[in-house]
Amino acid sequence: MTDSAPSSAHPGTSPDARRLPTVEDLDAGMARALHRIRVATGVSLAFGGRVLDSGQIRLQHFAGPTAGALNGLTLTANEGLGGRSLALMRSLAVSDYFESDRITHRYDPVIRVEGLKSVVAMPLIIARRPVAIIYGAFRGTQVIGDRIHDAITQEARALEHELVVRTAITSREPQPDHSRLREQVRIAHNQLRLLSHTVAEPELRQAIEQISRQLARADNPSTDTHSTLTSREIDIVSLAAVGLPNRQIAVTLGLSVHTVKSYMKTVMSKMHATTRLEAVVNARRAGLIP
């Protein structure tokens, strides 16, 4: 076993390994995400660490004052809140860490030194594999409500998306940097799709939609664009692809959040995806969105 984190591919690695972020990208992304989480939620401490090849977690990123007891701590899967969250591959929250019967208490002494009490843990999952975990913690009893949980979830999903896109770009053969042009194409694609819904004349609407389809295929013009996704489902996944959460997608398209969630669930099913991030990636590979 090594103490390295899952890294990007090298010759001989599996296809899944080639889809994992580098240690450098993961560390840099986590530092930014933890800072944003602390600002958005007001937690006493936001912290996290990457998953090692051994399956353990090493804590090494912190936003907020810390006594230093957590820095460099290696956690075991299923132990404590983070280990349990990692094993279940979903978020977990406790209002009183020391009184919770949902977790083991192997790390109570360290948590007590830091003075933490209410904690939420959120795994980062890429290619169906947990690569890191992030926490938000209060030094006092605090109910981890929807606002705090949603803010941390949004940052986690945004970081997953960022890492997947970065890994996909860097894993290709070296090419000129067209990232700015690619972003402009995606923005134009979304604007055209939104514009098509405001046009009453069928022929003009069809022409606009044809241009948007051409933009979606710009990176891979040979892609077979036959798809079971409806026009509205493409609207949903294209907005998700530029980082909009369900609430903003709903406002942009004039739909309810419930309706957006229903569309996204259908998109994930049709794209054979288990997460919205995977649905976005698969839709791009299919040439449905740029």
269: CATH: 1.10.10.10
Residue among 272, 48, 6 nearest 155 (CA):
48
Final residue before a domain boundary, out of 170, 198, 231 = 170
Q: Are residues 80 and 142 both part of a single domain?
A: yes
Q: Are residues 193 and 228 both part of a single domain?
A: yes
Quick check: is 7 in a domain? Answer: no
CATH number of the domain bearing residue 117: 3.30.450.40
Q: Are residues 39 and 165 both part of a single domain?
A: yes
Quick check: is 140 in a domain? Answer: yes
Residue-wise pLDDT tens digits, 111-163? 999 999 999 999 999 988 999 999 999 998 888 888 899 999 999 999 998 88
pLDDT of residue 250: 87
Compute φ and ψ for 165, nearest 5 degrees. Answer: -65, -45
Total-model pTM? 0.55
CA pair distance 31, 46, nearest whole angstrom: 10
Q: List the chain pLDDT tens, one digit each, 290 residues.
A: 333 343 333 333 444 555 788 899 999 999 999 999 999 999 999 999 999 999 999 999 999 999 999 999 999 989 999 999 999 999 999 999 999 999 999 999 999 999 999 999 999 999 889 999 999 999 988 888 888 999 999 999 999 988 888 887 666 545 555 667 677 777 777 778 777 777 778 888 787 777 777 777 655 544 444 457 888 898 899 888 888 889 988 888 888 999 999 999 999 999 999 888 889 888 888 888 87
Tell me the residue range of the domain where 126 lies.
17-170
With helix as H, strand as E and coil as C, how does 1-32 read? Answer: CCCCCCCCCCCCCCCCHHHCCCHHHHHHHHHH
Residue 51 identity (one-letter amino acid) = V
With helix as H, strand as E and coil as C, how does 119-154 read? Answer: EEEEEEEECCEEEEEEEEEECCCCCCCHHHHHHHHH
pLDDT of residue 14: 44
